[in-house]
């Protein structure tokens, strides 16, 4: 439960105006999975040097600059799709978890309780169990609510996957951040929290 508390820090900041222009360049090397497009641009204000608890953090813009995040430099892009209405990007951490960001079709003008109810209905329809719900999470400039979800994975013996699923709502869009992990996340909670705290949505 300590890890859940770490991902559920209270706080919502104001909404800054998106910069008119970023001084960016396309990232190179690992993470580019489409030879015709890079899914990230570099955004240096979110860079952080490595510490005793975290690897080096590199700032990136995703979804053509609509979202920015500081993520560990050794995360790799596992899959991505920027098709309008279906945008997502999924990272794999060498610390054994997946960190994915999906753009939902909920309208930013929709009432927050309605957005939460639709998401909860989606989870129920998929046959997953919500173990904890609607926990506030700290963020750079948007509202967030955190859920802990358990899903049975068909296998022998039976296996359960756990995920923190965080709904993020700004004045322009609604996102779902999905962190799929094992039962114990103590060793990697710091980098999960660091990424969530830098997540900025325009």
User: In sequence order, what DSSP letters do the residues of 5-58 get, joined into one string?
Assistant: HHTT-------PPPPS-----B--STT--BTTB-S-EE-GGG-B---SSS--EE
What is the CATH number for 106? Answer: 3.40.1000.10
Number of domains in the chain: 1
Owning domain of residue 134? 2-13+22-201
pLDDT bin (cut points 50, 70, 90) of residue 37 is: low
More confident position, 191 or 186: 191
146-178, pLDDT tens digit by residue?
999 998 777 656 677 899 999 999 999 999 999
63-120, pLDDT tens digit by residue?
999 999 999 999 999 999 999 989 999 999 998 899 999 999 999 899 999 999 999 9
């Amino acid at each position: 439960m300590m890890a859940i508390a770490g991902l559920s820090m209270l706080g919502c900041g104001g909404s800054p105006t998106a910069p008119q222009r970023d001084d960016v360049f396309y990232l190179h090397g690992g993470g580019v999975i489409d030879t015709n497009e890079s899914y990230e641009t570099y955004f240096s204000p979110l860079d952080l040097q490595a510490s005793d608890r975290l690897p080096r953090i590199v700032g990136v813009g995703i979804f053509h600059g609509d979202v920015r995040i500081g993520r560990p430099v050794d995360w790799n892009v596992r899959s991505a799709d920027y098709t309008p209405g279906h945008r997502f990007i999924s990272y794999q951490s060498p610390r054994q978890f997946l960190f994915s960001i999906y753009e939902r079709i909920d309208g930013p003008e929709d009432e927050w309780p309605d957005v939460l109810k639709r998401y909860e209905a989606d989870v129920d329809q998929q046959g997953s169990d919500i173990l904890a719900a609607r926990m506030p999470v700290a963020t750079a400039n948007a509202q967030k609510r955190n859920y802990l979800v358990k899903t049975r994975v068909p296998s022998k013996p039976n296996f359960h996957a756990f995920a923190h699923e965080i709904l993020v709502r700004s004045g322009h869009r609604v996102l779902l951040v999905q962190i799929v992990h094992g039962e114990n996340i103590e060793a990697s909670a710091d980098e999960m929290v660091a990424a969530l705290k830098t997540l900025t949505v325009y």
